[in-house]
């Protein structure tokens, strides 16, 4: 199918957008990627490699790989620090975007929304996030690992002796109306705990959970091994307090003793869930495309007709997805775009 001369604008240059761009470029399509931040790569680019003795299949390195791969395509152009200001609809899409290089206008025959997710802000949870410095999110822990290679307590830059990993913060939460599992947190937290124990031997790790979710093909083996070094508690703490000696006290209902349990930690890492990006509402308005009741993007496959024609959606913008799932989703969207452009 000859699609030379066709143009597609991709909103968001994370793993999903990059993978889709590659597929589209192969078909000869001119691709313009608009990236909100200063660099392509998205949120997965901020993740650290979790390898201990060998690769643990976290997939974080795949972003670098995709970035390198798309460089061979002259028909992919990336505009960073971009903000979509206006979208006009007539014979396709005319997108006005503002970046620090000024205002530019691109015309495209189709648009792919791959704007990703926003991590849940746990300030509203009773975990002291925001005012206890040693309560941090998984993303902040990733940043610490990336910067120092080790985990330090933000309050005193010392290495913690004990760490609590609290799962499902902002996920599987009916009170928040978040009836979804964020899919990636169990895997990322357990891999992170084992990386820290590998680099900072003797660190005690406690994992608070509802149900441990499967990640990776070799899950059972990895999970069984994790149980040897990580204390697993099937409960989610109700509260976290700061003690007088600068530790965090987590109060929870211990299912084993059937009593209120307490434990103190040097550091608490909250596995914050994947939620819809707050920019979705404005972008959906510009595109005149429906969102789900929760604010994620609908799949273009759910009856994208009328005004929604020519708009495609993929990746974690649709709901929580792992990196491999984002790659599949990008492949699907690119395929659908190629079919669409081939018939218009």
Partner 1 sequence: MPFQKETLILGSGPCADQLVGHLAAHGVSVRQVTMSGAAAVNLPTISGGKPIQRLDGAQLVQCQGIAGEFSVVLDDGTKPVRYKVSSIVVVPECLHVPNHDLYGLNPSEKVLALSALEKMLQRGSVQAIIPTQARVVFLNSWSIDPHPVMAQAMLQGCLEMQQKLDVRTFFLCGNLKVSVDGMEACYELAKKAGTAFVKFSDRFPVLVPLADGRIQIDYWDETTRMEYRLVADLVILDEQIMPDPRLADIVRQLRLESDDLGFAQSDNVHRLPNWTNRRGIFVAGGARAVLTEAALSVDANQTAQNVIAFLSGLDRAPLPKVEIDPGRCARCLTCYRLCPHAAITMEPRMIIHAEACQSCGLCVAACPNRAIQLQDSTLETAFNQQAGQGAQAQAQSSDCIPRIALFCCSRSAAQARELAKSMGHQLPASLRFVEGVCGGTFSVRHMLTAIEAGLDGILVLTCHEGNCHSGKGPHEADKRVREAARLLTGAGIAPERLQFTTLAANMGREFAEVVNGFEEKIKALGPV
In contact, 112 and 13? CB cutoff 8 Å: no
Specify burial of residue 177 (Cβ count, 10 A radius: 0-12, 13-18, 19+).
exposed
103-to-100, 149, 341 alpha-carbon distances in Å: 8, 40, 27
99 binds partner 1 (CB under 8 A): no
175 binds partner 1 (CB under 8 A): no
Tokens 């006005």 locate to: 96
CA distance 242 to 230: 23
Size of the site for partner 1 (CB under 8 A): 63
β pairing state of 267-272 and 239-242: unpaired
Among the candidate windows 61-69, 76-84, 122-130, 153-161, which touches partner 1 by CB under 8 A?
61-69
213 binds partner 1 (CB under 8 A): yes
Site string for partner 1, 104-133 (x = CB under 8 A): ------------------------------
Q: b vs e for 75-109, b when ≥16 Cβ sit within 10 Å of the residue's Cβ?
A: bbebbbebebeebeeeebbebebebeeeeeebebb
Smallest distance, partner 1 to C-beta of residue 200, A: 14
Q: By three-state DSSP, how is residue 39 classified?
A: coil
Cα atoms in the Cβ-side hemisphere of radius 13 Å centred on 240: 31
212 binds partner 1 (CB under 8 A): yes
Would you mind telling me the total number of residues written for the chain in this entry?
Answer: 344
149 binds partner 1 (CB under 8 A): yes
CA distance 226 to 79: 42
Smallest distance, partner 1 to C-beta of residue 21, A: 13
Residues 216-275 that bind partner 1 (CB under 8 A): 216-221, 223, 234, 255-256, 258
Which C-beta is closer to partner 1: that of 133 or that of 216?
A: 216
- Residue from 289, 300, 336, 340 touching partner 1 (CB under 8 A): that is 336
Among the candidate windows 45-53, 87-95, 189-197, 280-288, which touches partner 1 by CB under 8 A?
45-53
344 binds partner 1 (CB under 8 A): no
Which C-beta is closer to partner 1: that of 98 or that of 325?
A: 325
76 binds partner 1 (CB under 8 A): no
Residue 257 CA to its chain's centroid (Å): 36
181 binds partner 1 (CB under 8 A): yes
- Cβ contacts of 6 within 8 Å, gap of 6 or more: 28, 29, 30, 109, 110, 341
Which residues lie near partner 1 (CB under 8 A)?
A: 1, 23, 26, 45, 47-49, 51, 53-55, 57, 59-65, 68, 72, 146-149, 171-172, 174, 179-181, 183, 186, 210-221, 223, 234, 255-256, 258, 319, 323-325, 327-329, 331-332, 334-336, 338
């Amino acid at each position: 199918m000859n699609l030379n001369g066709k143009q597609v604008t991709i909103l968001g240059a994370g793993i999903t957008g990059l993978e889709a761009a590659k597929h589209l470029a192969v078909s000869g399509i001119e691709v313009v990627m608009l990236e909100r931040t200063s660099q392509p790569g998205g949120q997965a680019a901020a993740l650290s490699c979790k390898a201990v003795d060998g690769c643990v299949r976290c997939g974080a390195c795949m972003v670098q790989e995709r970035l390198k791969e798309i460089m061979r395509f002259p028909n992919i152009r990336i505009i960073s620090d971009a903000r979509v200001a206006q979208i006009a609809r007539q014979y396709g899409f005319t997108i006005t975007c503002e970046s620090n290089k000024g205002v530019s206008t691109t015309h495209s025959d189709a648009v792919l929304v791959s704007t990703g997710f926003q991590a849940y802000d746990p300030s509203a949870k009773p975990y002291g996030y925001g005012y206890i410095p040693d309560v941090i999110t998984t993303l902040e822990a990733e940043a610490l690992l990336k910067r120092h290679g080790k985990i330090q307590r933000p309050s005193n830059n010392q290495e913690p002796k004990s760490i609590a990993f609290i799962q499902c913060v902002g996920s599987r939460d009916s009170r928040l109306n978040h009836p979804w599992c964020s899919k990636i947190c169990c895997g990322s937290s357990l891999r992170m705990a084992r990386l820290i124990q590998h680099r900072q031997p003797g660190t005690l790790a406690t994992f608070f959970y509802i149900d441990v979710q499967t990640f990776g093909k070799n899950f059972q083996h990895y999970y069984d091994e994790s149980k040897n070094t990580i204390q697993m508690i099937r409960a989610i703490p109700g509260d976290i307090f700061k003690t007088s000696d600068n530790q965090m006290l987590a109060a929870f209902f211990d299912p084993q003793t059937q009593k209120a349990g307490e434990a103190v930690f040097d550091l608490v890492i909250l596995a914050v869930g994947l939620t819809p990006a707050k920019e979705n509402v404005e972008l959906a308005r510009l595109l005149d495309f429906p969102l789900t009741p929760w604010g994620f993007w609908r799949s273009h496959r759910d009856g994208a007709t009328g005004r929604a024609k020519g708009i495609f959606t993929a990746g974690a913008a649709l709901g929580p997805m792992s990196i491999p799932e984002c790659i599949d989703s990008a492949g699907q969207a690119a395929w659908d775009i190629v079919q669409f452009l081939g018939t218009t």
